[in-house]
Amino acid sequence: MSKLIQPNRRTALKTIAGAATLPLWARYAQAQSAAPIKIGFQVHSTGIGAAYGRWYSRTTEAAVKKINDEGGINGRMVEIVAEDDGTDPKRGAEVIEKFASQHKCDIAYGTLFSHVVIGSAPRAGELKLPYFVVSEGHHVASGMLNRYTLQPGITDVKSQVQAMAPYITGTLGKKVTMIYPDYGFGYDHRDNLVPAIQASGGEVVAQIAIPPTETSFTKYFPKIPRDTEVIYHVMVGPAVLTFVKEMGEFFGPSRPEIFGFIDSLEAVDLASPGLEFLEGTYFWEGNPRYAQEGQSEFDKAYRAAVGVDDNGASLSDPKDVSTYAHMFGCWETLHVIKEAMEASGYAGPEDRAKLIEAVEAMTEMPESAAHPQGAKLFNGKTHQVFGHQYISQVNGGKLVLKHTTSIEDTLYPDEADYTTQAF
């Protein structure tokens, strides 16, 4: 029969002193009863963002498993509380409210579609709930949101477009017609492509906005001017396959050059019938879907963790194609959250301001297991991260990397300074 040994004062002081020299996470490592860190995951399980939501969920689960297997955050396990926002701005704000009031989450995270971010961020600010979005929209860096909203794991449209434009005008053609969805994300492309193409010596000769709920697109193609040299498309939603097929039927073999953002074909198998005409066309990718020659060890490990093969499809179902160009943002954002919580000694909601300040203090993010998409540079004033962009060409039914931009190609002057805002 064992007996409880009460430590004397000297032993206790030595123990406390020893603990103080340990890294922060290790000090909590034995606290098995510590409450988990609860991250409210605002996920597009339904609505036009459902394909992204499915893969954002899988990536989030894989990242959290990795983080928890490595000891969690400050020795506490991470728990994901998922709520479907229906890819709807009104429901998005309601989900933020639930995270704060009902689920008592430490932070909110994960939102993709820009109109949902814009509809949700004001409520997060009012509730003083740190809101980490994985969206690409320029709304964060533009200053239109608030200090509680951050985008540290994925680049924004303005930086992407600025980096792409010289390649488009220098390689494909100078007269560009753009086709984009008629809401916030599309407006980011519209507003930023025109000056970027002009600065690169080209001209946007037409802008065609299409409602995101549209199911047939044939009526829009006659609006494309005859002198168009490049079609720039960035359609999203469940009808993207129809869009691409109908564009192919409209042009036939005599088409302009085509440059698309892979958003148009995220989660779509390039071998799908009707996509043959995409052979030879170009795409922006946030992260190359197909494992490329010279693949990094970090990409290889990340693919295995999220259950994706070398073709960008699920290991369990080759027809289940991932949203590989975007979902890395979930993985990387969760690792940023972990790093910032550990740097700030985050213990609970009373430390939310310290958490945000810790993120704002970040700068260089080297390529690593935490950042498999590539190295990045974070701007604490604008709450926006900057990183490499990738241009691929459809070759033999696969996307082959043709050009990688520098981080410097993506930088632009600050439009905001959130650090001047009070908490």
The answer to whether residues 59 and 18 touch, using CB atoms and an 8 Å cutoff, is no
Per-position b or e across 180-194, b if 16+ CB within 10 A of its CB: bbebbbbbbbbebbb
Residue type, 139: H
More confident residue, 293 or 14: 293
Mean pLDDT of the 383-397 span: 97
| CB atoms inside a 10 Å sphere around CB 375 | 14
Model confidence at 16, pLDDT cuts 50, 70, 90, reads very low
Q: Which domains does the chain have, with CATH numbers?
A: 11-156+327-387 (3.40.50.2300), 157-293+389-410 (3.40.50.2300)
Mean pLDDT of the 356-377 span: 98
Mean pLDDT of the 51-63 span: 97
CA distance 360 to 380: 4
User: Could you give the percent of the chain with pLDDT greater than 90?
Assistant: 81
Q: What is the pLDDT of residues 403-415, one digit of tens each?
A: 999 999 999 999 9
CA distance 81 to 40: 5
CA distance 262 to 156: 14
Model confidence at 33, pLDDT cuts 50, 70, 90, reads very low
Predicted TM-score of the model (pTM): 0.89
Query: Which pLDDT score, from 0 to 100, does residue 21 have?
Result: 52
Query: Which pLDDT score, from 0 to 100, does residue 7 have?
Result: 39
Exposed/middle/buried for 128, CB within 10 Å: 0-12, 13-18, 19+? middle
Length of the chain equals 423
Model confidence at 237, pLDDT cuts 50, 70, 90, reads low
Please give the structure tokens belonging to residue 38. 């609860």
Q: What is the pLDDT of residues 245-276, one digit of tens each?
A: 899 999 988 899 999 999 888 998 998 888 88
CA distance 183 to 49: 14
Lowest mean pLDDT among 80-94, 103-117, 180-194, 305-319: 180-194
pLDDT at 30 over 80: no
Query: Which pLDDT score, from 0 to 100, does residue 32 have?
Result: 45
Model confidence at 141, pLDDT cuts 50, 70, 90, reads very high
Query: Which pLDDT score, from 0 to 100, does residue 264 have?
Result: 81
The answer to whether residues 212 and 229 touch, using CB atoms and an 8 Å cutoff, is no
Query: Which pLDDT score, from 0 to 100, does residue 6 have?
Result: 36
Give Cα 317 distance to the centre of its chain: 24
At residue 126's C-alpha, the angle toward residues 125 and 132, to 5°, is 25
Q: Where are the alpha helices (DSSP H) in 70-156?
A: 89-97, 114-127
The answer to whether residues 328 and 59 touch, using CB atoms and an 8 Å cutoff, is yes
31 phi/psi in degrees, rounded to 5: -85, 70
Q: What dihedral do alpha carbons 383, 389, 394, 395 form, nearest 10°?
A: -150
Give Cα 35 distance to the centre of its chain: 28
Judging by DSSP bridges, how do beta strands 78-84 and 37-43 pair with one another?
parallel
Query: Which pLDDT score, from 0 to 100, does residue 188 have?
Result: 87
Query: Which pLDDT score, from 0 to 100, does residue 238 have?
Result: 67
CA distance 186 to 234: 7
pLDDT at 349 over 60: yes
Query: Which pLDDT score, from 0 to 100, does residue 48 have?
Result: 87
